[in-house]
Amino acid sequence: MSLYTLLGAFEIGLIFSLVALGVYISFRLLRFPDLTVDGSFPLGGAVAATLISTGTDPFVATVVATIAGAVAGLITGWLNIRLKIMDLLASILMMIALYSINLRIMGKPNVPLITEPTVFSVLQPDSISDYVLRPMLLVVVVLAAKFLLDWFFSTQTGLAMRATGSNARMARAQGVNTGLMVLGGMALSNALVGLAGALFAQTQGGADISMGVGTIVIGLAAVIVGESLLPSRRLYLATIAVVVGAIVYRFFIALALNSDFIGLQAQDLNLVTAVLVTIALVVPKLRQHWSGRKGN
């Protein structure tokens, strides 16, 4: 693997670590199986790309894309809390609705960003190559997101949100408005995913209607890989594990696709993902099995 592909994998890994943090909030903290991300990721991309291509400042466009993601999460939460639709189904409804919404926003299946300014090109100094600068900026963004989440989930409100996912009945008995917590958590989760989509569109030369396919699996893969590499229940370690998981996952994908002797091609990506997730799910169980036998 060349340095270029290595940095490329690192860059995409960082972007997907934002998705993974979002998925961690919904799946692990709220225990809400949320597939909205397959729609809110391209939503972020579509909003950012469309706004930038019509002359909006890329930073403003990125912020608007993040808010759009939050709104998508809010609606999924609302379908579940107010209309009492099962969580998984509510998120699937939102996901397919977003497919049409994204097409409407873009007005066509894709919006290229080739010559337009992006948050990366605006900050680009002459002395650093763009493929080095992008990962550097993304490290800052991801670390900021990680520390903000660590802080939020140790506040009174954040703790109430975690309690809602862990034991909603107890949370209510302590006076927590659990419905509101689910809405807030879903908004937060999908805001991160929307932000990731906006950054992805700006690094990959535009938004495409199919860019969201499998986002949830990649996000979940990152969470699972991270948890098996760094098993911990402490929140600040869990968030770092999730970020590391996303990066490691992208490295493995890049490795698999760039090793000629394996003979894998880009279209095998989803298969590789499925195999990696399976391995990550099985390894901790095998480890338990073996250590259990040793103990006897």
Partner 1 sequence: MLRAQDLHITFNPGTPIETRALRGMSLDIPSGQFVTVIGSNGAGKSTFLNAVSGELRVDSGRIEIDGIDMTRQPVWERARHVARVFQDPMAGTCEDLTIEENMALATLRGQRRGLSWAVKPALREEFRAQIATLGLGLENRLSDRIGLLSGGQRQAVSLLMAALRPSRLLLLDEHTAALDPRTADFVLQLTVRIVAEHKLTTMMVTHSMRQALDVGERTVMLHQGRVVLDVSGDERKGLTVKDLLAMFERVRGEQIDDDALLLG
Tell me which of 125, 175, 292, 295 binds partner 1, using CB under 8 A: 175
Tell me which of 160, 196, 222, 225 binds partner 1, using CB under 8 A: 160
Helix H, strand E, coil C: the string for 108-153 is CCEEECCCCCCHHHHCCCCCCCHHHHHHHHHHHHHHHHHHHHHHHC
**Residue 154 sits in the site that holds partner 1 (CB under 8 A):** yes
Number of residues located near partner 1, criterion CB under 8 A: 23
- Site map (CB under 8 A) of partner 1, residues 231-270, x = contact: --x-------------------------------------
Tell me which of 84, 104, 108, 169 binds partner 1, using CB under 8 A: 169
What DSSP state is assigned to residue 234? S
- Site map (CB under 8 A) of partner 1, residues 123-152, x = contact: -----------------------------x
Q: Could you give the CA distance from residue 32 to residue 30 in angstroms, rounded to a whole number?
A: 5
Give whichever of 163 and 198 is closer to partner 1, judged by the CB atom. 163
* Block residue for tokens 């007005």: 107
**Residue 159 sits in the site that holds partner 1 (CB under 8 A):** yes
Q: Contact region for partner 1 (CB under 8 A) — 70-78, 173-181, 192-200, 276-284?
A: 173-181
Over the Cα atoms of the chain, what is R_g?
19
**Residue 170 sits in the site that holds partner 1 (CB under 8 A):** yes
Tell me which of 162, 207, 216, 252 binds partner 1, using CB under 8 A: 162
**Residue 177 sits in the site that holds partner 1 (CB under 8 A):** yes
* Block residue for tokens 């340095």: 3
155: left (phi over 0), alpha (psi -120 to 50) or beta: beta
Q: To the nearest whole angstrom, how small is the minimum distance from the Cβ of residue 31 to partner 1? A: 10
Q: To the nearest whole angstrom, how small is the minimum distance from the Cβ of residue 65 to partner 1? A: 25
Q: Find, among 226, 242, 232, 137, the residue nearest to 189 by Cα.
A: 242
Beta bridge partners of 208: 110
Q: What's the gap between Cα 10 and its chain centre?
A: 15
Which stretch of DSSP H or E encloses residue 216? helix 215-229
Tokens of 98: 């977003």
The binding site for partner 1 (CB under 8 A) comprises 152, 154-160, 162-163, 166-167, 169-178, 233
